[in-house]
Amino acid sequence: MEPAAFQMFQLLSDISRRPEPFEFYTAGDLWTDEHTSERMLELHLNETVDVASRNTAFIDRSVAWIASRFDLRAGTRVADFGCGPGLYATRLAQRGAAVTGIDFSERSIRYAQGIAAGQGLSIRYVHRNYLEFETADRFHLILLIMCDFCALSPAQRKQLLTQFHALLAPGGLILLDVYSLAAFDQWREQATYGADLFDGFWSADRYFGFLHTFKYDREKLVLDQHTIVEPSRVRTVYNWFQCFSPEGLAGELAACGLAVEGFHADVAGSPFDPAAKEFAVVGKKL
């Protein structure tokens, strides 16, 4: 076999390998890379799509429900984990809540700070991996929205829920959403290849992209494995999607001292639908 052909064969073999569940964690490559963080911010701010954030109409409906369901008033302390460019934090602060937003993306945090300053809103924004967030503050409500919980390994999820329990005021509440087992059933394994795959999302320069979607039946887990081949490097980004049953999610909350107050179809308070691809949970600190 010719050396070049062998090298190509080895590369394709390597990027087609099915990793072990949560074998790799590459959140930093997505949220801190200069190019991809810029593209992610563009997606966050696109008011018509549900990619990085949900569309504007849904967010408005969601914030109205959150304000009513959790009795938001002046001084209610809210922590928005994975706040992005402040789409929820801004709206909640406009309703009088004392909001802290935490996000891995410095670009998104800078944008959110600019919006808060322009509107005269006193929002505390923290640029940090929220798994490492610490504060002496105690919150009445903690949010983790857009199925961020599903990207974390079992150990990371336990760490985060334990962290939530410690950060909540007595009787404090959490709201998060997840992918359902119905979503897992509808996912399909696939392999996709293309020049500048996803319209140049991964690099400002020319590249070749490979997407492998793997399903893990026992764990009810999905992986989108993105391999980006550039002239000077080959890199892989792993996007994990853990899917849950209500009972399984309730068990993880209970193990960390959080009791389920209710399930909903989404974070806008729609009635729970077992056939939906996502669902939301309200948990309370015991």
Confidence check: pLDDT of 264 > 80 = yes
Taking residues 20-33, report their average pLDDT. Answer: 87
Write the CB contacts of 173 (distance below 8 Å, at least 6 apart in sequence). Answer: 70, 140, 141, 142, 261, 282, 283, 284, 285
pLDDT for res 36: 87
pLDDT for res 38: 87
Q: pLDDT category, 5, cuts 50, 70, 90?
A: confident
Domain positions in the chain: 49-179+244-285
Instruction: For residue range 221-245, list pLDDT tens digits in order.
Output: 999 999 999 999 999 999 999 999 9
Taking residues 169-175, report their average pLDDT. Answer: 98
Helices 56-69 and 87-94 pack at an angle, to 10 degrees, of 50
pLDDT for res 33: 82
Burial group, residue 73, by CB count within 10 angstroms (0-12, 13-18, 19+): exposed
pLDDT for res 71: 96
Q: pLDDT category, 4, cuts 50, 70, 90?
A: confident
Taking residues 59-71, report their average pLDDT. Answer: 97
What's the CATH fold of domain 49-179+244-285?
Rossmann fold (3.40.50)
Taking residues 267-275, report their average pLDDT. Answer: 97
pLDDT for res 127: 96
Backbone phi and psi for residue 281, each to the nearest 5 degrees, phi listed first? -135, 140
Q: pLDDT category, 145, cuts 50, 70, 90?
A: very high
- Pairing mode, if any, of strands 208-216 and 221-229? antiparallel
The CA distance from 280 to 282, in Å, is 7
- pLDDT above 70 covers what percent of the chain? 98
